[in-house]
Amino acid sequence: DGGITQSPKYLFRKEGQNVTLSCEQNLNHDAMYWYRQDPGQGLRLIYYSQIVNDFQKGDIAEGYSVSREKKESFPLTVTSAQKNPTAFYLCASSTGGGGYYEQYFGPGTRLTVT
């Protein structure tokens, strides 16, 4: 089955710890994205990558880091520098970049930091 997987579904961490969220896709998509969603809010773009070994900051990149070493994988690290990390994190992918193509989402990771 083709799709996007994110793990874990729920993640609990203590303040001051870095945490890495996994995102894998087997759709052969070039572009991948990370969004954050807070309760009652829309999606805000954290980072995106249009091709392997290249990525760009989105609107709220501070306190986050990413890597894109393989086409199918785009992990997101939430560092201790992120002031309000508790949120629903969504990974998406699309055939191409530029925001022109349809984006498909993984099931999300709900991160709680206390």
Q: What is the DSSP string of 57-102?
A: E-TT-TTEEE--SBTTB--EEE-TT-S---EEEEEEEESSSTT-S-
Which positions lie near other proteins, rule CB under 8 A? 33, 35, 40-45, 48, 50, 56, 58-59, 90, 97-108
Q: How far is the CB of 69 from other proteins (least distance, A)?
A: 21
- Kindly tell me which of 71 and 101 has the beta carbon lying closer to other proteins: 101
- Kindly tell me which of 18 and 41 has the beta carbon lying closer to other proteins: 41
Q: How far is the CB of 81 from other proteins (least distance, A)?
A: 22
- Kindly tell me which of 17 and 28 has the beta carbon lying closer to other proteins: 28
Q: How far apart are CA 50 and CA 71, in angstroms?
A: 10
Q: How far is the CB of 8 from other proteins (least distance, A)?
A: 14
